[in-house]
A and B are shown apart, each in its own frame.
Chain A
């Protein structure tokens, strides 16, 4: 589904991402972890096209997407959420989802009226389904800025889903959540995986990462220091060293 080959991104002399190789298989939930500043967010930014890579290639479903601008990567099927929420605050919940319906399929299928005036053609049904999924149906006319924090996070996830992604990048979705909310998030992520969406989960909350992922890669100082199943990663000496500091156990 997604393959990074020798991907690097440098900022001046700082090697934020330094020659990473990754392969995410279709249908997986893939965890990307590492200490602060290890290059996780930069990697996500490069994958979505917000930052051009310094070198290396990005393959999405076998095609090199390194030269595609951000909006075309989204239309091809790569969506993401942000660590710090970036909703369209002065748009309603419903409108936030509507403007995000930009997948190639939707653009091809929706007629003029459905697309530009929000009429028929499955637009409303699809948005209603997303509202249902994220438990925001009763808030659909509320301005996004007026939602509670947890609701905003759910709306951001729904907005990413509005683009019918094949690959969904979640950048610290559990930040600031209590354990009950994390449990709900975990259920949602698993449900999404069951609908066939491949998920890359960038996260600090180990409770979530270890419980939900099929495979994990660990970054440190811009390099991949380990990859494996959650159990393998927990036992990995280099990982323990990176997280706990000091000498390898």
Chain B
């Protein structure tokens, strides 16, 4: 993907982001990016606002490596700030798109992590004495391994789309923008990823059949 790809395609969000903040309110994310072109220090506020979100997304994908990739994501974002187009994408999905690209350079680590989690989930877990949540815990534990194994088995591009939807909570249009593909391609990738995930979970799946349209 080129440096402009994260915001160069697909339709804009339904409601274009607000570009001007009220006089006495904090500047919007888009304004901070814009101001940082001339005044780079403005960009630091975006880190303060979004570091936790980006780190959580990275942490779920690559584990401890997230600490390093958090830094890399914001460095890349800062360097590409001149190419950011607020009319195409808001800042949070833009950052998550960059984080996704950063993870792409560490696919081996990501798959290794999922496989390790799948193996670890197969081992008995120590439990506390409180029986109140034991049912939920056991249910979650039963799913954790197969779910990690399912993620390891997805094609990287399908996994990107699925996890931007599930963990990044991006809409289809936003995913299309950050992955630089048409929305139809996003739908195809999500269909495939979700079908494979359900199939991999097999008998342990607790799914109610749910339309993907409900999840946008």
Whether chain B is bound by chain A comes out as: no
Binding site for A on B (CB under 8 A): none
